[in-house]
Structure 1
Amino acid sequence: MNRQQLSELTAFLAVARQKSFTRAAAQSGVTPSALSHAMRGLEERLGVRLLHRTTRSVSLTEAGERLFATLAPRLDEIEAELAALTALRDKPAGLVRISADEHSLHTLLWPRLAPILREFPDIRVEIDSDYRLKDIVAERFDAGVRFGDIIAKDMVAVPIGPEARMLAVASPAYFDRAGRPEAIEDLTAHACINLRLPTYGGLYAWEFEEDGRDRKVWVEGPLTFSSVFPILRAALDGFGIACLPDAMLAPHLASGALEAVLTRFSPPFAGYHLYYPSRRQPTPALALLVERLRWRG
């Protein structure tokens, strides 16, 4: 295989993964026209159409699906082996891509990651932060950070923080005005601040436990956000009850700016974990981060 053929196959994988010439070009550091030219050359050489192209989207043909299924895992294996060669160097180096939600990034991951990066300047980190549950294998992340109870069983998961609790909270001014809920059912009579989940577009169901049974409650209220930070701000400003992680609430509960209710229905659960595919050998850089970030209580 010559260099041009390898370049064409690499271009095909980039476009197939991104479903867009523009996004694939941005990720690959080339122009969309260069990718388009490479794809035309590959299709002409193979004699089959690999992509359906419209002005708005790109999708794989049957031949494209077959080529992608064969080629993608093999190239991933090659890239993993090349990355593993950095073990021969004196210090871990290279890029580590991590998927994390905003809360874990700001309150846990970055404060602990920053000193590691100062100590090992040859490690580069790219963090994608939103609340969408990603397939880290398909989207080519090295690792992810999520609460331990939602991580797939085929992942290696390492705790990087203490146990967590989701607490229902509001400002004292709101509770003085609207009353304090005593039972889970009382939430239906209150103004609650909702979180819309990006993965499926639904609203987050508030989770409690009563008499050993899990309870999920869909609440209503005047405000819905797609991030926890404006939810916290709205609760502090007295707009209603929010349900948020205890680590995020700690300083506001301590100062009296927020008050927690229904705490007896909010047991602890597995906190944030760093996870990566069990079938993939971690690079030296990722292995170092896993060891340094591991929560030791």
Structure 2
Amino acid sequence: MSARFPSNSGEHAWGRLTWLDSGVAINAGVLVLIVAGSVLAPWLTRVDPNAIDLAATLQAPGMHHWFGTDQMGRDVFTRTLHGGRISLSIAFCAVLLAGFFGALAGLLSAYVGGRFDAALMRVVDAQYALPPVFLAMLIVGICGPSMTNIVIVVTLANWGRFARIIRAEALSLRERDFILIAKLAGATPLHVVLRHLLPNVRNTFIVLLTLDIGLVIFMEAALSFVGLGVQPPDPSWGGMIAEGRNYLDTAWWLSALPGLVLIATVLCSNRIGESLQRGERAGEDWR
């Protein structure tokens, strides 16, 4: 038996508010272009992002080099696309891991309750005492920079948000009739969590994933900017911005253009997440 709380009453309102909201389609289009360009970077540009051409150093943006070249003659547009591939890969992996472990912890905490719930929430409270970016920098500084370590520390810095919010929603569902019926039918706690609670918090989970993408991309860029993220010569948005800061007077494009792509990605993902959040609230009003 798999009873589910009837949440379809607000799904039409969610869809209208989300996709017909002013500017959401534009933000989604920009985000799709950036993600697609990053994923397809090896096929869109045949240039090696680390290829050095000392005869073409610090060239301004033009027909041959859309984003110009850096101090080593490397094509900035190519490096921006490849850097996005690395940065977005780290961000998506970290968000999915944080979402999975955080949501599972929140659901179990709400269902089990008691000392387990209290202990888990104290861990989350302790984590909230430190800003996520600072916590990530602290852990990477101790463990050393690598792509695997970055994914792990960003996951550790963000799972608590998922756990707290999913727990709060699951608590509102725990005493509903369909949960009580499942318990009386002999369903195990894991069955109740996965088959009854999880499907009914999926909208909130999707909203959190979307909102968290922008934060995680920013965190990865911040780590790379201070030298604790992706290591040279591999490109990343934060690392490219850091490399170009010494040339702002003579070669503004080194930092400005990768920075604009980073800002556009974060703002577009946040805008879509906020629209989803408004749509979810509107759906709740329909219930």
Normalized per residue, the structure richer in strand is 1
Name the structure, 1 or 2, with higher relative contact order (CA <8 Å, separation 6+): 2
Q: TM-score, normalised on structure 2?
A: 0.25
Q: TM-score, normalised on structure 1?
A: 0.24
Larger radius of gyration: 1
Normalized per residue, the structure richer in helix is 2
